[in-house]
Amino acid sequence: MIRITCLALAFFLSLPALAADTLRIGSKRFTESYILAHLMAQVARPGMDSAPEVKQGLGNTAIVYEALRSGSIDMYPEYAGTIALEILKSERPMELAAMNKALAPLGLAAAIPLGFNDGYALAMRTADAERLGVRTLSDLARHPGLKLGLSNEFIGRADGWKGLAARYAFAQQPTGLDHGLAYDAIAAKQVDVIDIYTTDAKIGHLGLRVLQDDKAYFPRYDALVLYRLDVPQRLPKAWAALQKLEGRINEDAMIAMNARAELQGVAFDRIAGDFLAGGAGAQTGGARGFWAKLFGADLARLAWQHLALVVASVAAAALLAIPLAVASFGHPRSRALLLGATGLLQTVPSLALLAILISLLGTIGIAPALLALTLYALLPIMRNTVTGLAEVPQGLREAATALGMSPRQRMRLVELPLALPTVIAGVRTATTIAIGTATIAAFIGAGGFGERIVTGLALNDSGLLLAGAIPAAVLALLGEALFEVAERALQRSRRGA
């Protein structure tokens, strides 16, 4: 059984290699990156036998860069300032030729400048800025009582808060916020200042003032494509088609496309298609209501991905946990050690565990997600197996021994069948946990209903969040109903016996 589990895991680990002829395009978890990834995919499509695969919403720079470096994706939209200061750890901005010289030993390169700069900046409500006389970041430093709500990535970046605070001598201590929620927070006056991307659509919509970087801390963040060096040789037609994007998108077009996603709720692929068809980002229409989001074209795909992750992980956990529980049942110290180890795994935050597994496995997607879900499912199955075996009456054990059964025969023919209802209850609990936890897998490109939730967080779109949460809840209820039917059938068979 353990051999089967290992073979299944090996198969999932080999999936990136099986997709060698498919162009895999990643994106970070913010609106613009989603749109650019779909633009790249649609431009490249005519030069390919199969449609490019878009792995969207892969989290922050560290995760999507690790996906590129490990070969889980082939390219993604990135920014010159981020490559120079965050990825290459340069102390100053770099020209494209210098960046490529530094990227070459990593098997990477940057190309196809898209035509716009999307820089970092700080912004605050215009009315408050006027009242306090704040126009520049130096002015902001003279108001230490203002509350800063900054994205967690910006706080931790090499070109982010730490260097900015040193340059301007800021005394404020920022609060970490998700970028998609920051605009609601500043509109509700929960924070006074947020970090923004200069092409964000909500800057003008909310009437925010972008504070001038009067000490020139931020470099230019010109959008371009960061890719693996083998892509032009491996997919020459797709690479040639992607060259058509060079210089094609200006700041106004990018702001208009971001606005359609964030303010009108238009799907990313629709926005990309409209831009390529009309050459501008300002088309109207295409907004989706809640029911269109809930029953969208991706529902079947996401349901299959979510169900496959849950079934595979719970099955793998059962194949590992039940034999381990049986083998350790007669050895209290070993049993306590195993239960303690699986219990400790439950205390590790899911995103932290995924990050650790990405580093260990060198890949994103199904493999680390499946392994993480399997580890989380071990405890309830193992604990319930041990509990069920402990509840077998001692008299029945003695009777089985008196009949001449060996310890293995007694376990297989007497103890495990009697413990089966409790074991099934453990599998039931593990399944419910896996259905909920599997939504986190979308942060690393493993799909499932979490894909909608991640996108909804990026857009601060409550309808899209519900469109991901409701199917996951329905799946959990269906799982509960299925186990209820199985338990009743088991009880009837026992009464009939």
Per-residue H/E/C for 270-335: HHHHHHHHHCCCCCCCCECCHHHHHCCCCHHHHHHHHHHHHHHHHHHHHHHHHHHHHHHCCCHHHH
- As a whole number of angstroms, the distance between CA 179 and CA 196 comes to 8
Over residues 36-95, the pLDDT tens digits come to: 999 999 999 997 888 999 998 887 888 899 889 989 899 999 999 999 999 999 988 999
d(CA 124, CA 186): 8
Number of H helices, E strands in the chain: 26, 10
Structure tokens at 286: 């295409």
| Structure confidence by residue, pLDDT tens digits, 236-264 | 999 999 999 999 999 999 999 999 998 88
pLDDT exceeds cutoff 80 at 14: no
How many residues are present in the chain?
497
Of 319, 439, 429, the C-alpha closest to 369 is: 439
Ordered by where they begin, the domains of the chain are: 20-115+221-287 (3.40.190.10), 120-210 (3.40.190.120), 299-496 (1.10.3720.10)
- Give which of 3, 78, 9, 20 is closest to 360, Cα–Cα: 9
**Exposed, middle or buried, 174 (CB in 10 Å: 0-12/13-18/19+)?**
buried
Largest CA distance in the chain: 92
Residues 6+ apart with CB under 8 A from 416: 326, 389, 423
Residue 444 has pLDDT above 80, yes or no: yes
- Provide the mean pLDDT of the chain: 89
Q: Decide if pLDDT at 4 tops 60.
A: no
- pLDDT 10s digits, 133-186: 999 999 999 999 999 999 988 999 888 999 999 999 999 999 998 887 899 999
Helix (H) or strand (E) holding 196: strand 193-197
pTM given for the model: 0.81
Confidence of residue 265 (pLDDT cuts 50, 70, 90): confident
> Do residues 306 and 473 touch, judged by C-beta distance below 8 A?
no
The amino acid at 471: P
pLDDT confidence of residue 488? 87
Residue 270 pLDDT level (bands cut at 50, 70, 90): very high
Of 6-20, 269-283, 358-372, the one with minimum mean pLDDT is 6-20
